[in-house]
């Protein structure tokens, strides 16, 4: 029996070296999010681009046919072949791997093997790989952009719901990691919800700014063939086409750089939320408890439940910034026209996408499942000088003192007060007298000033 138990424990527990102290297992997506590519293998960059290469090629084939550069037979076979190749790819029966130079040669090679060069050899008419990779990356980024927007909106929704739920849960507001004034947990979550809105609006802007079809620009200087960029784009579906073929190719990395900038901004905001939640979840704060589903354990310390998804979010924010700087460097001081070094830009974009995808989903799950401890939050309001700003503003509002005089009065009261008890009305009146202001603050008015619910209502007026 003992051997059976040990075997069961080995299979279930030792493979991850932690977890038996948990009431719920961490979610699989959390484990994957935290593991990164420690154990997961990655597909080749161009293998990921094949569906987009086919989409762009179909649009281009339509353009060739409409300008009578290919006949109906070639048109039908090329479209049929592209559709078949996409189906094979989706079924896992075709891969862009090391036997091909790139995704463009992979598609043309397969079409040539299937239909012969007299048919397949016409698909590249008037076309360059320069414009192909530019449009493939735009289509790739468009898809990932829409996915990120959807995820961010879900996170915004979760933050907004919780901000309403916790709009009366009081806790300290912080500046410089020190108690500043009173706020609510709902107000903090609401701040992050507003940042989410700005994040997805930035991605929406990216689509209007960057989705400009480069098809028809050839190698960057156009073609003498009657290629109609507008007709091609009608089948591709972008709202804009290039105005200048050289600009379309030379500055193609602008779209990638702005896209990764938007990712970096998103990850920065998630990183700030992560750090806030991590500190709030420590025993020193004790404001919240993270769900077992969104924590991990230690390989040596049986009691540990670590906020790994939050720490990993911070790491992902850092590496995304690195990708952004690398993109800026790649596109700096390039000679006019296409340059092969720009190819490394697609790796940076894909790395940024890989690191950021699922980050809003994981954060939404953390927010949805966390437990708050109102009493711990409230305890922090019962000592110290957290109502100092409100007292100062009460003197300004109700006793017409100049702001600087009111501040000096409260500073004097802070010096004379015990941090455990905070400022009392009696000490405040004494401080006013010491600075030459013969004002006697009414104790009832003073109590209104330091009512935390009244403070937050005034501070967060709509």
| Complete DSSP assignment for 259-295 | HHHHHHHHHHHHHHHHHHHHHHHSTTT-SEE--GGG-
Q: Rounded mean pLDDT of the chain?
A: 92
Model confidence pLDDT, tens digit, residues 102-155 = 999 999 999 999 999 999 999 999 999 999 999 999 999 999 999 999 999 999
Higher pLDDT, 62 or 462: 62
The model's confidence at residue 10, banded by pLDDT at 50, 70 and 90, is very low
CATH architecture label of 45-120: Orthogonal Bundle (1.10)
3 has pLDDT over 80: no
Of 407, 412, 413, 408, the C-alpha closest to 392 is: 407
Q: Enter the pTM of the model.
A: 0.92
Which candidate in 124, 298, 373, 433 is catalytic?
298
Higher pLDDT, 41 or 441: 441
Rounded to whole angstroms, the Cα distance separating 423 from 411 reads 10
Q: What is the pLDDT of residue 2?
A: 46
| Residue indicated by tokens 């049929």 | 80
298 is catalytic: yes
373 is catalytic: no
The CATH class, in words, for 143-218+253-379 is mainly alpha
Which candidate in 23, 41, 176, 375 is catalytic?
176
Q: How many CB atoms lie within 10 A of CB 4?
A: 8
Model confidence pLDDT, tens digit, residues 247-276 = 999 999 999 999 999 999 999 999 999 999
């Amino acid at each position: 029996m003992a051997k059976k138990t040990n075997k069961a424990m080995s299979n279930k527990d030792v493979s991850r070296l932690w977890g038996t102290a948990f009431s719920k297992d961490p979610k699989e997506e959390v484990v994957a999010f935290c593991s990164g590519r420690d154990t997961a293998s990655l597909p080749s960059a161009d293998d990921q681009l094949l569906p987009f290469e086919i989409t762009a090629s179909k649009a281009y084939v339509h353009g060739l046919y409409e300008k009578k550069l290919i006949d109906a037979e070639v048109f039908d076979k090329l479209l049929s072949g592209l559709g078949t190749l996409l189906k094979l790819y989706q079924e896992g029966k075709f891969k862009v791997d090391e036997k091909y130079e790139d995704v463009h040669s992979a598609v043309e090679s397969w079409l040539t093997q299937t239909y012969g060069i007299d048919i397949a050899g016409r698909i590249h008419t008037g076309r360059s790989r320069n414009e192909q990779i530019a449009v493939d990356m735009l289509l790739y980024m468009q898809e990932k952009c829409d996915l990120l927007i959807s995820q961010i909106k879900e996170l915004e929704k979760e933050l907004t719901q919780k901000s309403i739920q916790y709009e009366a849960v009081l806790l300290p507001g912080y500046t410089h990691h020190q108690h500043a004034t009173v706020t609510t947990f709902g107000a903090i979550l609401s701040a992050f919800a507003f940042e989410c809105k700005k994040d997805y609006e930035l991605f929406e802007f990216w689509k209007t700014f960057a989705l400009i079809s480069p098809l028809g620009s050839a190698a960057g200087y156009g073609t003498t063939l009657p290629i109609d960029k507008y007709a091609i784009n009608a089948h591709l579906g972008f709202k804009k086409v290039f105005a200048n073929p050289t600009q379309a190719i030379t500055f193609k990395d602008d779209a990638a750089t702005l896209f990764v900038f938007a990712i970096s901004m998103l990850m920065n905001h998630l990183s700030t939320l992560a750090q806030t939640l991590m500190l709030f979840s420590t025993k020193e704060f004790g404001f919240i408890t993270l769900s077992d589903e969104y924590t991990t354990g230690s390989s040596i310390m049986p009691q540990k439940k670590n906020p790994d998804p939050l720490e990993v979010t911070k790491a992902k924010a850092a590496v995304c910034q690195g990708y952004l700087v690398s993109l800026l460097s790649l596109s700096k001081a390039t000679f006019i026209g296409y340059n092969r070094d720009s190819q490394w830009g697609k790796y940076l974009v894909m790395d940024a996408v890989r690191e950021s995808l699922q980050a809003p989903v994981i954060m939404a799950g953390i927010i949805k499942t966390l437990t708050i401890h109102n009493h711990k939050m409230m305890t922090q309001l019962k000592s110290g000088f957290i109502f100092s700003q409100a007292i100062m503003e009460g003197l300004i509002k109700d006793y017409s003192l100049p702001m600087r005089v009111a501040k000096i009065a409260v500073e004097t009261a802070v010096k004379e007060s015990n941090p455990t008890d905070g400022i009392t009305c009696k000490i405040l009146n004494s401080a006013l007298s010491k600075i030459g202001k013969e004002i006697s603050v009414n104790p009832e008015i003073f109590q209104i000033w330091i009512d935390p619910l009244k403070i937050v209502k005034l501070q967060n007026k709509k």
